[in-house]
Amino acid sequence: MIQVIKNGTVITMDEKRKKKYENLDIVITDDTITSIEENYQGPYDKLIDATNKIVLPGLVNCHTHLGMSIFRATNDNLTLQDWLTKKIWPIEDHMTDDDVYYTTLLSCIEMIQTGTTTSNDMYFGVQGALKAIKESKVRSVFSRCLTGRDEHALERIEEFKQLVRENQGNELLAFTVTPHSMYTCDKEYLKNCKEVAEEFHLPIHMHYCENQSEVEGIQKEYQKSPAEALKELGYLEHKLILAHGTFITEEEQKLLAKGNVSIATNPISNLNLGCGIADLVSYQRNGLNVCLGTDGQGSGNNLNMFYHMSMVDQLQKAKYQDPTVMGSYDVLKIATINGAKALNLEDKIGSIEEGKKADLIILDLSNTEVYPTTDLITQIVHNVESNNVDTTMINGTILMEHHQLTLPIDVEIIKKQIDQITNRLMVQEEK
C-alpha cells in the first residue's frame, strides 16, 4: 500500500538536511518511508492532504509507567518516598493483570491522541500490559519492572526472560532490562540483571538519582558516588537509560559519558515530588545523550510530551538565568531523535528519513491559541496542546485521523472499567 502525505510543512529532524523544515511530500510504502520529495506525482492508494499543517516524527517517551493512569493527581503534598510507600505501592499490590490491561490501554490512547508514537515502559502485570499495547498498535520498548530485595526477586527475572522469548519478532515491540533502582535492588541482584541484559543483548533502563535522599542512600551503601557504584557493578560497560538523573555531579557526568549512557529527564515529575531540577545543559556539554520522559501520570500528570517539552526549555533557562542556554530545536531533538538513540531505535524512528519506519504525526496550528506562528519550532515546543494533534501514524498505520481514533476501541467502555478499578482499589481521595 502506498500512502502520500502531501503539501505539508515537514520537520524532518534529519541533521543531514540543510533546513529545519521544508514543504515536502512524504511517500510511505506499507510501513516504511520510501521517498521525501517536492511535488510527488506518482501513484498512491491513499492521499493525506497536509496543506497548512505540520508533519514531524512521532514523539518518543523514554520513561513512563503506562499502567499508572489510575494514579493521576495522587501526588499532592507527598515526597517521593511517602508517595511510593504510603500511596502507590500498597494499591499496586492489589492490582490484577486485568486492571493493568485497562490502565495501560487508557495510557496508549492518551499517547496516540497527544502525538507520542513510542514509549519506554516499565511496570508489572505484564500479560495485561502487553495485551493493551498490542491492541493499541503503539510502538513500545517494554519491560517487567525488577525489584530485588525479597523472596520473589529471582522469579521476576525468570518471568521477564520468558516474556522476551515469547515475543520475538514483533515489529512494534522491543525490550529493556529494568532493575527498578539501586535502592530497591541489592548488589547481587543488579549483577543478575546485567547478566540478563548481556544474554539477550538488551539495554538496561532504571531509576537513578531521582532525589537527594536516593543519592545519599547509594553513597552510604556503596561508599562511593552513584556513578562510581555503576562502574563497580559493570553497568558502564553496557547501554544504559537512566531515568531522572536529577543529581549528577560534573565529575560523574564525565565518567558516565565514557559509557553508552542516556539520561531520560522527567521534569514535571521531579517538580511535583519536590525532587529538584536536573542540569541538562551540563549533561549535554559533557557528552551525555539527554532524552525526555513523562514518568507515570501519578507524578507526571499526563503523557502529553508537548507539555513536558516546554518545561524542559524553561527550567534550564531559569536555572542558568540565561535564555540562550537551550533552544527550542534542541528540545525537539530531546523528544524525538535523542529518544530514538537512547532506545537503540535510531535506525527506525526519531526522524523523517527514507528507509525509516512511518511513525509520524500531523499538527494543525489553525486555532487561535497558537495563532499566529512567527517561529514554527518555538511554537511547537511551547504552545502546542493535544487539540493540535490532528493525525497519528505508527508503522504506516493511521491510528488517529482528524482527531478521530481509527482503532476498534470504545473509549467510553474503557472509562467505565477504569472507574470500577479506582473504586475497588480506593484510589480516589475521600470527598
pLDDT band at residue 273, thresholds of 50, 70 and 90?
very high
Measured distance CA(59)–CA(51) in Å, rounded? 21
- 225-236 average pLDDT score: 98
Q: CB of 105 within 8 A of CB of 136?
A: yes
Q: What pLDDT does residue 430 have?
A: 52
How many structural domains compose the chain? 2
| Residue that finishes a domain, picked among 294, 324, 342 | 342
pLDDT of 201 above 50? yes
Residue with grid cell 493511521, as numbered in its chain? 398
Residue 424 is assigned to a structural domain of this protein: no
Give the CA distances from residue 292 to residues 20, 263, 278, 302, 401, in Å, rounded to whole numbers and listed in that order: 20, 8, 12, 13, 25
Q: What is the DSSP string of 354-368?
A: TTSB--EEEE---SG
pLDDT of 74 above 90? no
Residues 368 and 399 in one domain: yes
Whole-structure pTM value: 0.97
Measured distance CA(204)–CA(233) in Å, rounded? 13
Residues 312 and 392 in one domain: no
Residue 419 is assigned to a structural domain of this protein: no
pLDDT band at residue 78, thresholds of 50, 70 and 90?
confident
Measured distance CA(118)–CA(51) in Å, rounded? 26
Residues 267 and 233 in one domain: yes
Burial environment of residue 198 by CB neighbours within 10 A (0 to 12, 13 to 18, 19 or more): middle
| Residue that finishes a domain, picked among 307, 323, 342 | 342
> Which CATH number fits the domain that encloses residue 216?
3.20.20.140
Residues 257 and 356 in one domain: no
Residues 65 and 53 in one domain: no
Strand segments, DSSP code E, in 12-166 are 22-29, 32-37, 46-49, 54-57, 59-64, 116-123, 139-146
Which has more pLDDT, 80 or 68? Answer: 68
pLDDT of 40 above 80? yes
Residue 423 is assigned to a structural domain of this protein: no
Burial 160-183 (b: 16+ CB within 10 A, else e): beebbeeeeeeebbbbbbbbbbbb
**Pairing verdict, β 46-49 and 2-10:** parallel
pLDDT band at residue 75, thresholds of 50, 70 and 90?
confident
Q: Percentage of the chain with pLDDT > 70?
A: 99
> Which CATH number fits the domain that encloses residue 36?
2.30.40.10
pLDDT of 275 above 80? yes
Closest CA to 59 of 3, 128, 2, 11: 11
Residues 259 and 304 in one domain: yes
| Residue that finishes a domain, picked among 342, 365, 392 | 342
Q: What pLDDT does residue 431 have?
A: 43
Residues 398 and 281 in one domain: no
Residues 127 and 53 in one domain: no
- Kindly give the residue spans of alpha helices, DSSP state H, lying in 137-279: 153-166, 187-200, 212-222, 226-233, 250-257, 267-272
Residue 334 is assigned to a structural domain of this protein: yes
- 206-218 average pLDDT score: 97
Query: What range defines the domain where residue 282 resides?
Result: 59-342
Residue 363 is assigned to a structural domain of this protein: yes
Residue with grid cell 520522559, as numbered in its chain? 293
- 409-427 average pLDDT score: 95
Residues 198 and 147 in one domain: yes
Residue 246 is assigned to a structural domain of this protein: yes
Residue with grid cell 501520570, as numbered in its chain? 297
Q: What pLDDT does residue 79 have?
A: 87
Residues 113 and 216 in one domain: yes
Residue 422 is assigned to a structural domain of this protein: no
Residues 234 and 151 in one domain: yes
Element containing residue 391 per DSSP (H, E): strand 389-394
Cell of 299: 507524578
pLDDT band at residue 98, thresholds of 50, 70 and 90?
very high
Measured distance CA(310)–CA(102) in Å, rounded? 29
Residues 321 and 366 in one domain: no
